[in-house]
């Protein structure tokens, strides 16, 4: 997480100068990104099976423009916890950039199927993350030209042992989706949230 203040440079009114600080998820303020990495690796060494810590390490690598290290951290995260939806979404974001649509959609399906029982986000943030993931899945489905389903098929939902009240065709007929308006995906996101949708403000 970065906190940024922006100022116009005094010698050129059109030049934007930005000042920022790195703040990790636990409030730690490392001086350099490498200090943040060291801090997270120390936490991981004390709790190597904590999938969320591996996710946070991946986020730090993304912020540092190191996608190959980020991918390794995210993959470790989901190896520990296959339902770590933040890591699945991050992997999908990396894969869609290299036009690997099949695997992008696979990871986004995992986001949707695991959302109901994900406890690391409040309901509003979970809905936002899900809506973004579903939107990305539709975009990947269109761009792939391979007829990949943007939403999990009924068999995937049933085999995931989830209590998702999802009548996909009925939902899709009742809403209009716009790729430039993530809120248009909220009804679908709420369907995948299951009982957690009751926690929304």
Tokens found for residue 130 = 């899900």
The pTM score is 0.79
Kindly list the domain boundaries of the chain, sorted by start residue.
95-101+108-201
Q: Which residues contact 47 (CB under 8 A, 6 or more apart)?
A: 53
Alpha-carbon distance of 42 to 36, in angstroms, equals 10
Q: 184, 178 in Cβ contact below 8 A?
A: yes
Tokens of 78: 């989901």
Render each residue's pLDDT in the chain as its tens digit; 201 residues. Answer: 434 444 444 555 565 655 566 666 666 666 566 677 888 899 999 999 999 999 999 999 998 899 999 999 999 999 999 999 999 999 999 999 999 999 999 999 999 999 999 999 999 999 999 999 999 999 999 999 888 889 987 655 555 555 455 545 556 666 788 889 999 999 999 989 989 999 998
Place of tokens 């993304």: 62
């Amino acid at each position: 997480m970065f906190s940024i203040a922006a100022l116009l440079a005094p010698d050129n009114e059109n030049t934007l100068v930005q000042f920022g600080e790195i703040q990790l998820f636990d409030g730690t303020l490392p001086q350099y990104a490498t200090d943040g990495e060291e801090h997270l690796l120390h936490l991981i060494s004390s709790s190597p099976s904590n999938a969320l810590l591996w996710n946070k390490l991946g986020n730090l690598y993304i912020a540092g423009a190191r996608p190959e290290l980020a991918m390794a951290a995210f993959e470790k995260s989901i190896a520990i916890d296959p339902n770590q939806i933040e890591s699945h979404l991050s992997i999908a974001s990396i894969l869609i950039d290299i036009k690997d649509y099949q695997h992008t959609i696979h990871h986004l399906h995992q986001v949707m199927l695991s959302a109901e029982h994900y406890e690391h986000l409040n309901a509003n943030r979970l809905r936002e993350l899900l809506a973004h993931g579903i939107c990305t899945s539709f975009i990947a489905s269109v761009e792939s030209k391979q007829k990949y389903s943007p939403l999990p098929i009924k068999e995937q939902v049933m085999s995931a042992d989830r209590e998702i009240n999802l009548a996909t065709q009925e939902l899709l007929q009742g809403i209009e989706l716009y790729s430039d308006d993530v809120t248009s995906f909220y009804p679908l996101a709420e369907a995948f949230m299951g009982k957690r949708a009751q926690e929304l403000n």
